[in-house]
Chain A
Amino acid sequence: MLSINSGSAVPVYEQLKRQIRLGIVSGRYRQGCRMPSIRDLAAKLKVNPNTIAKVYRQLEVDEFLVSKAGSGFFVEHSPEKLEQTRGELLCDLAEEFITSAVELGASPEVIKNTVQKRLEESTYHDKA
């Protein structure tokens, strides 16, 4: 479900674009699936319909969506695109994490070791 964080200074346009991109990469929006109509999504989120249209059109330019005349926007992407985006999103997350860690005063060595340790202790890698 798409949602908006109203307290965030990140523009709604950016928030939605990121969420949809993430939804596509994580498989929540599958290949061929139809996106909510601009009208319905705008009404649900109380966002200007022009903003939603701008998000969809940008995602079309970025090759995540295609518009079909009269029936809306559909998820359509290549496997390479998906892998490339997964990499980009991971880099973004790493960047955010590093910024916060540096703010805490952690050295690169400590940051690296902490990630390494957490990875080994975490149960997530079993699932992967």
Chain B
Amino acid sequence: MIKLDNVTCGYVKKPVQQGITFEIEEGDVLMITGPNGAGKSTLLKVLASILNPTAGTVVYGWPSAEDPRKFIGYLPDSLSIYRSMKVKDLSELHWNAFGVKPQPLPLLAEASIEKESRVSELSLGQRVIFHLSLILSTHPRLILIDEILHSVDVHLRNLALEALVRTMADENPTVVMVNLNYTEIEHLVNRVVFLTREGILLNETAENLTNSRNMTLSDILAENMNSIYSKKRQEVSE
């Protein structure tokens, strides 16, 4: 289990979010969504343990003596990984850092990624697939994905999602996805946190949300998004 307790993050003088409190159960597949600028990616960086909260705590449900990053696979929204390195060398580096054995990455062939290619020669979609393959190969207990579907074509997107679902079936990791495209992952998630600039608007299981409304999850979330923006429009016009 992961516990966020009263987390404030962002810049010291200008926090993006304040007093965020929620829990993620082991094996949960959580979608964090909400309007742009609400701090979704910032919150994901805090969960990834690469950004310290300026106040509050994040507690992971595994031995606290160890570096949490050993258990985490994080796919950021912008991939600035060592562009001049070859695919095979970066893979070695990654496996060494995580202390796992070198292994085949079946997704690479499916995405036509050559081991001898340099990262800079790959398309953006191929880089996402490569990075995701590396992350999944270390068997993380917590997988964090920031807008995986962004700028990846339909074919590669399908490959990426299939790989993720297989890992979910095999290893039951906890998964947190920041997402704005609801329909593609609405049947994968079992919990939703809807974040606005004012804080958490919604923290609910997918089952409760859809049962109480008799609507699809994506329609419910789109409705929330619309109401936020129409309120904003009203404020502007007043």
Residues of chain A at the chain B interface (Cβ within 8 Å): 4, 6-9, 11-12, 38-39, 42-51
B78 on the A face (CB < 8 A): no
Minimum Cβ distance to chain B for residue A40 (Å): 8
Q: A8: which B residues are within 8 A, CB to CB?
A: 216
Q: Tell whether, in the assembled complex, residue A9 and residue B188 are in contact, meaning their CB atoms are under 8 Å apart.
A: no
Within B169-209, the residues touching A (CB, 8 Å) are: 169-170, 183-190, 207
Q: Tell whether, in the assembled complex, residue B166 and residue A39 are in contact, meaning their CB atoms are under 8 Å apart.
A: yes
Complex Cα distance, B162 from A43, in Å, reads: 5
Q: Tell whether, in the assembled complex, residue A39 and residue B169 are in contact, meaning their CB atoms are under 8 Å apart.
A: yes
Minimum Cβ distance to chain A for residue B3 (Å): 22
Complex Cα distance, B214 from A38, in Å, reads: 26
CB closest residue in chain A, given B210: A11
Minimum Cβ distance to chain A for residue B174 (Å): 13
Residues of chain B at the chain A interface (Cβ within 8 Å): 27, 29, 161-162, 165-166, 168-170, 183-190, 207, 210-211, 214-216, 218
Q: B185: which A residues are within 8 A, CB to CB?
A: 46
Contact A49 to B169, CB < 8 A, known contacts A4-B187, A6-B186 = yes
CB closest residue in chain A, given B211: A11
Contact of A50 among B190, B210, B211, B216 (CB under 8 A): B190
Q: A45: which B residues are within 8 A, CB to CB?
A: 187
Q: A6: which B residues are within 8 A, CB to CB?
A: 183, 186-187, 216, 218
**19 A–B pairs (Cβ distance < 8 Å), ordered by A:** A4-B187, A6-B183, A6-B186, A6-B216, A7-B216, A9-B214, A12-B187, A39-B170, A42-B165, A43-B166, A44-B162, A45-B187, A46-B165, A46-B184, A48-B168, A48-B187, A48-B188, A50-B27, A51-B187
Q: B210: which A residues are within 8 A, CB to CB?
A: 9, 11
Complex Cα distance, B165 from A46, in Å, reads: 7
Q: Tell whether, in the assembled complex, residue B215 and residue A9 are in contact, meaning their CB atoms are under 8 Å apart.
A: yes
CB closest residue in chain A, given B183: A6
Complex Cα distance, B168 from A9, in Å, reads: 25
Minimum Cβ distance to chain A for residue B221 (Å): 14
Complex Cα distance, B218 from A46, in Å, reads: 14
Contact of A46 among B27, B161, B207 (CB under 8 A): B161
Contact A9 to B165, CB < 8 A, known contacts A45-B187, A48-B188, A50-B190 = no
Complex Cα distance, B183 from A6, in Å, reads: 7
Given A38-B169, A49-B165, 17 more contacts at CB 8 Å? Answer: A6-B187, A11-B207, A11-B210, A11-B211, A39-B165, A39-B170, A42-B165, A42-B166, A42-B168, A43-B166, A43-B169, A47-B187, A48-B165, A48-B187, A48-B188, A48-B190, A49-B169
Complex Cα distance, B187 from A8, in Å, reads: 12
CB closest residue in chain B, given A49: B169
Q: Tell whether, in the assembled complex, residue A46 and residue B166 are in contact, meaning their CB atoms are under 8 Å apart.
A: no
Q: B207: which A residues are within 8 A, CB to CB?
A: 11
Minimum Cβ distance to chain B for residue A8 (Å): 7
CB closest residue in chain A, given B187: A47
CB closest residue in chain A, given B184: A46
Complex Cα distance, B211 from A37, in Å, reads: 27
Q: A4: which B residues are within 8 A, CB to CB?
A: 187
Complex Cα distance, B162 from A46, in Å, reads: 7
Q: Tell whether, in the assembled complex, residue A46 and residue B187 are in contact, meaning their CB atoms are under 8 Å apart.
A: yes
Q: Tell whether, in the assembled complex, residue B216 and residue A48 are in contact, meaning their CB atoms are under 8 Å apart.
A: no
Q: Tell whether, in the assembled complex, residue A48 and residue B162 are in contact, meaning their CB atoms are under 8 Å apart.
A: no
